[in-house]
């Protein structure tokens, strides 16, 4: 079992224990994050699903990404916020970036923006990964799972375990 699968198992255990739900919005990873999470133990209990929005028009139309470059902080923030709302999740992670081999939106290959929604607030992070497109996708997937696990632990520490169903907890 690889590190992404091990990370997904930890995410599953914490999400189930804390009765939190998760969603993803993906662009450059093309569904890889969703594949890993969907294969985790008992994923139907906590994983709400994913929107894979590869085309810019889908990001703008469905995920409410503002006009302008899609490889951007505002895009990652909008993707995370909107997917959580659309799929009714407590937490969400979103990725948008340039896998390569050429640049996009004036950004070099390996440029990736992450958006994480937790506790009703979205935060973003910019990373640069080296390698061929497949290596960038794998590095992006691994980091997205790390960020999701971190957010899940922060969220679970902020909430007691006996709050009831997720739909009751959301404000």
Among 116, 113, 112, 105, residue whose Cα is nearest residue 133: 112
Instruction: Report how far residue 140's alpha carbon sits from residue 128's, in angstroms, rounded to the nearest whole number.
Output: 9
Count of other CB atoms within 10 angstroms of residue 42? 11
Instruction: Report how far residue 154's alpha carbon sits from residue 136's, in angstroms, rounded to the nearest whole number.
Output: 27
Check residue 1 and give its pLDDT.
56
Non-local CB neighbours of 31 within 8 Å, separated by 6+ positions: 50, 52
The SS3 of residue 141 is: helix
Query: Per-residue b/e over 122-149, b at no fewer than 16 CB within 10 Å?
Result: bebeebebeeeeeebbbbbbbbbbbbbb
Is residue 161 pLDDT above 50, yes or no?
no
Whether the Cβ atoms of residue 12 and residue 41 lie closer than 8 Å to each other: yes
pTM of the prediction?
A: 0.90
**91: which strand partners?**
22
Q: Is CATH 3.90.950.20 the right assignment for the domain spanning 3-161?
A: yes
Instruction: Report how far residue 75's alpha carbon sits from residue 83's, in angstroms, rounded to the nearest whole number.
Output: 12
Q: How confident is the model at residue 159 (pLDDT cuts 50, 70, 90)?
A: low
Instruction: Report how far residue 168's alpha carbon sits from residue 148's, in angstroms, rounded to the nearest whole number.
Output: 22
Instruction: Express each pLDDT in 27-84 by its tens digit.
Output: 999 999 999 999 999 999 999 999 999 999 999 999 999 999 999 999 999 999 999 9
* Range list of β-strands (E), 80-165: 91-97, 111-118, 121-128
Is residue 102 pLDDT above 60, yes or no?
yes
List the chain domain ranges. Answer: 3-161
Per-residue pLDDT, averaged over 134-143, amounts to 97
Check residue 162 and give its pLDDT.
40
């Amino acid at each position: 079992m690889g590190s992404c699968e091990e990370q997904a198992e930890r995410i599953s255990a914490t999400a189930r224990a804390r009765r939190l739900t998760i969603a993803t919005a993906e662009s450059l990873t093309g569904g890889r994050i969703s594949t890993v999470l969907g294969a985790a133990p008992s994923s139907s209990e906590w994983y709400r699903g994913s929107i894979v929005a590869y085309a810019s028009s889908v990001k703008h139309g469905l995920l409410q990404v503002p006009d302008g470059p899609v490889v951007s902080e505002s895009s990652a923030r909008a993707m995370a916020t909107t997917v959580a709302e659309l799929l009714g999740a407590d937490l969400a992670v979103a990725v948008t970036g340039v896998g390569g081999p050429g640049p996009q939106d004036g950004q070099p290959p390996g440029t990736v923006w992450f958006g994480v929604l937790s506790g009703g607030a979205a935060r973003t992070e910019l990373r640069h990964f080296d390698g061929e497109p497949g290596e960038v996708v794998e590095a992006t997937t691994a980091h997205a799972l790390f960020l999701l696990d971190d957010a899940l632990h922060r969220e679970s520490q902020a909430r007691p375990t006996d709050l009831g169903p997720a739909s009751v907890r959301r404000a």
